[in-house]
Chain A
Amino acid sequence: MSNANTQPTGVEEEIHYLELDQMIEKEFNNDKENLIMILQAIQRRYNYLPRPALSYVSEKLSIPYSRIYEVSTFYSTFSLEPRGRNIISICTGTACHVRGADRIKEHIETSLKIKDGETTEDKRYTLESVRCIGCCSLGPVVKINEDMHGRIATDEIKNVLNQYE
């Protein structure tokens, strides 16, 4: 279903447990129904879902780890692997598709030598294709971190990417 159907990574991430605990209690009322939003918050904090954090959530909310794994692999937002410093989200919605999003994607893939869902070795970029970010009139659109780059042309990509360290 998602690009992230790999096993949780074994890399030890430094988890700030007290902060995590307070977040689950204060922001999310210890409520199981908020699981998806808790995972989103963890991903915002660590850039991916570190395994120890997921184990903690499992204990804390009494949700089986298998169910947390199921949720974190079902939804395409989540990544179980560390991602790069800059997230390149290339919109592959229909409007962008008919305006050549595939060419843009291929161009990024060849110039960074990574495929969709992968991270460069220097951890500078992660490439992810997303399904429509709702800026269809500006297609093709590439979002890097929170910045939108609309009506992007293949020969502009290099310059745009270089802006992100």
Chain B
Amino acid sequence: MNIQSVKDLELIKKEYRLKLNLPDTVKVNIGMASCGIAAGARETFNAAKETFADNDSIDICQTGCIGYCEVEPLVEILAKGKPRVMFKKVTSDKIVDIIHGYMDNDFSDKKIKKHILGQIRDPRSLLEEDMANPQEQVDPIEGIPFLEDIPFFKGQVKIALRNCGYMDPDSIEEYFGKQGYIAFLDALHNAKPQEIITAVKESGLRGRGGGGFPTGIKWATCAKHDGQRSIICNADEGDPGAYMDRSILEGDPHSVIEGMLIAGLAIGSSLGFIYVRNEYPLAVKRLVTAIKQATAYGLLGDNIAGTKFCFKIKISTGAGAFVCGESTALMASLEGKVGRPKAKYVHTVEKGFRDQPTNLNNVETYANVPAIILKGAPWYASFGTDNSKGTKAFSLVGKVRNTGLLEVPMGIPLKDIVFSLGEGLPGKKKFKAVQTGGPSGGCIPEALMDTPVDYQQLASVGSIMGSGGMIVMDENTCMVDVARYFLDFLKDESCGQCNPCREGIKQSLDILTAICEGEGKEGDIELLEELGVMIQRFSLCGLGTAAPNPVLTTIKYFREEYESHIRDKKCKAGVCKNLFMYEIDEDACTGCTICAKKCPQNAITGTKKEPHVLDQDKCIKCGICYDACKFDAIVIK
């Protein structure tokens, strides 16, 4: 069926809104993004399917990820006239009991209770305010918190991630049910390209991939240049510790396709490309399905909805090169070449892919576009700060209690993200820093945790917004090692064509490695600073100019750690192997024997209920005993 107008959509939308919110059956939504699957969601799904294969009153469905990865597999169960309940850590052996418990309204049983995450007060996304809250008439279950009041969700505003976890990513009809393609069809029939561009400009949307360039201005400049214009979506999410784009592609691929269609319409392009990491096989699979479906409905292809507008999307898979996140390198890679960045004397909006005008945005940027067109620029701009409008998705990972993916309005202080939504660090460990912006970003110490997340503010403390990775570090994270880690990453990923980056990174890495191995000497810190400034000033592309950020920020905020590595030959975090040793604290050791049993070297000996002894000659500092000891009796010296 070819969809011609918003009117055609309304019928399907109505049908699927009912299916999504007021189903005739008990609907079981299992979060099946990569992270969920890694936590066992596939087994959960299969177990439920098998058990209820002959039961027509239960519908087992897949969705994307709602972001609370810490407690996956996540399962939501709903039925008409009943509360919607989200369950956590639902492994395959638990799912059947939980479904039965839901059907019997039995939420007090211990086995079920401990898996309840919360109930949903209002399942509508911000784009669905044209519909009444389907849960309005339903009495909530007493004693179960609302999902929106749980720390991890409190304060989140989901625009880019609006549908992730609430629909089947493999169903375009469910996307229609979530207001999908209405913005595009409306713009196609009723808006002039210039009007779309103005709306995007006025929304204040800036590139979510890291650069933060105003999206509307990029679109306007590209539209001005004549030639065969291309629309590229950068889904080569390379920052380690960041997976917003993966989650969007796996949970709501149509939002990206719709964003690209709107860009094509505004800029005057019929050629779309998605450059996606080969390491994200599920994202590729869901994109392929989504493109096929959109094509079948006539939303991609020639003469879309009976107009002159044509737009096709090709998927290209990357092959593991961080530098391909840089726009010119990405375009070279799309052309089947090695991804080496070019100097941008001429901008890619004028001469990019195939030497033609090219507009490149990342996944999250495109996912925001339909929302802006549907709800209007002023609505979008009402979120955020003066120079950073809207919301931003972050992956909160590392040494933090609630790991996962969240979306918050720009301008919220870093500490709110880490300590309120993330609920701080697990155990009794002390917070040390949060790293933002991936290998191009920096480490922000506790003293600066009041900094609001906003492009300018993060830059002013030496870091960057980047694509949204936020890695929390505790007292067991060595900051010198972190700097060494990032440079080691960048040394491998530097394309090698310009000297400052290739040699500068390598020399800095050699110095850092020496410091970590206990060979550091006076003057090293100053030399690292000098090299850093040189690399920043003279590298060709963004990868090089940002490469020293992790080194420079760790020196700026954690200089004493560098000094103790160099002068005292000590790594207090217990990471750099030559610079610390494990010891057993005799007073704390209860003689539980766990460490002795687990030590792969048999370096720990002792009798039960008496303090154990560690043989330093045998110890390989693998850390197994340190992690295993429940009494903090293994200490770092």
Asked if residues B38 and A75 are in contact (CB atoms below 8 Å), the reply is no
Q: What distance in Å separates the Cβ of A109 from its nearest Cβ neighbour in chain B?
A: 12
B351 within 8 A of A: no
B44 to chain A, nearest CB (A): 14
**Measured CA separation A77–B435 after assembly (Å):** 27
Q: What is the 8 Å Cβ interface bit string for chain B, positions 306-350, against chain A (1 contact, 0 not)?
A: 000000000011111110000000000111111100000000000
Q: Is there an interface contact between A74 and B403, defined as CB atoms closer than 8 Å?
A: no
Q: How far is it, in angstroms, between the C-alpha of A40 and the C-alpha of B623 when the chains are bound?
A: 38
In the bound complex, CA of A71 to CA of B404 (Å) = 35
Within 8 A of A (CB), among B52-72: 69-70, 72
A148 touches B399 (CB 8 A): no
CB <8 Å contact, A94 and B336: no
Closest B residue to A43 using CB positions: B319
Contact of A131 with B403 at beta-carbon distance under 8 Å, contacts A76-B320, A77-B319 already known:
no
Greatest chain A CB density within 10 A among B35, B485, B494, B624 is at: B35
- Contacts A37-B317, A131-B238, A136-B243 known; A98 to B37 CB distance under 8 Å? no
Q: Which residue of chain B has the shortest Cβ distance to A139 in the bound complex?
A: B397
Distance, CA A149 to CA B482, complexed state (A): 24
Name the distance in Å between A156's Cβ and chain B's nearest Cβ. Answer: 11
Contact residues in B for A150 (Cβ distance below 8 Å): 38-39
Residues of A within 8 A of B496 (CB): 1
Number of interface residues of A (CB under 8 A): 49
Interface centre among A34, A149, A155 (most CB of B within 10 A): A155
Question: Contact at B622–A106, with CB atoms within 8 Å?
Answer: yes
Task: Please determine whether A136 and B336 come into contact, CB atoms closer than 8 angstroms.
Answer: no
Q: Given A36-B317, A95-B398, is A136 in contact with B241 using a C-beta cutoff of 8 Å?
A: yes
Q: Which of B15-64 contact A (CB under 8 A)?
A: 34-35, 37-39
- Closest B residue by C-beta to A75: B319
Interface string of A124-140 (1 = CB under 8 A from B): 00000011111111110
Among B279, B322, B338, B598, point to the contact of A71 (Cβ < 8 A). B338
Is there an interface contact between A32 and B38, defined as CB atoms closer than 8 Å? no
With the chains together, A17 CA to B69 CA distance in Å? 45
B397 pairs with A137, CB closer than 8 A: yes
The CA-CA distance from A154 to B626 in the complex, in Å, is 12
Among residues of A, the one whose C-beta sits closest to the C-beta of B402 is A137
Q: Contacts of B598 on A, CB cut-off 8 Å?
A: 155
Which among B278, B280, B492 is the interface contact of A40 at CB below 8 angstroms? B278
Which residues in A have their C-beta under 8 angstroms from that of B378? none
When the two chains form their complex, are residues A95 and B471 in contact, meaning their CB atoms are under 8 A apart? yes
Q: How far is the CB of A159 from chain B (nearest CB, A)?
A: 14
Q: A75-B321, A94-B469 are in contact. Are A134 and B397 (CB under 8 A)?
A: no
Interface size on B, residues (CB 8 A): 62
Within 8 A of B (CB), among A88-143: 92-100, 103, 106-107, 130-139, 141
A62 shortest CB reach to chain B, Å: 12
Q: Are B240 and A138 in touch, CB under 8 angstroms?
A: no
Chain A residues within 8 Å of B336, by CB: 31-36, 71
The answer to whether A70 has its CB under 8 Å from any CB of chain B is yes
| CB-defined contacts of B334 to chain A, threshold 8 Å | 33
Decide yes or no whether B237 CB sits under 8 A from chain A. yes
- Contact status B623-A103, CB under 8 Å: yes
Q: State whether A98 touches B477 (Cβ < 8 A).
A: yes
Q: Report whether A94 and B338 are in contact in the complex, using a CB–CB cutoff of 8 Å.
A: no
Is the pair A36, B316 in contact by a Cβ cutoff of 8 Å? yes
Q: Does B281 contact A (CB under 8 A)?
A: yes
- Nearest-CB residue, chain A, relative to B319: A75
* Complex interface: chain A residues within 8 A of B70 (CB): 137
Tell me whether B69 and A98 are in contact (CB under 8 A). Answer: no
Closest A residue, CB atoms, query B354? A33
Q: List 27 A-B contacts (CB under 8 A).
A: A1-B321, A1-B495, A31-B336, A36-B316, A36-B333, A37-B316, A71-B336, A74-B321, A74-B495, A75-B319, A75-B321, A76-B320, A94-B438, A95-B469, A97-B240, A131-B238, A132-B238, A134-B242, A134-B243, A136-B469, A136-B471, A137-B70, A138-B38, A148-B34, A153-B627, A154-B600, A154-B623
Since A77-B320, A136-B403, A137-B395 are in contact, a sample of 11 more A-B pairs with Cβ atoms closer than 8 Å, ordered by chain A residue number, is: A1-B493, A70-B338, A74-B338, A99-B398, A131-B493, A132-B239, A132-B279, A137-B35, A138-B35, A139-B397, A150-B39
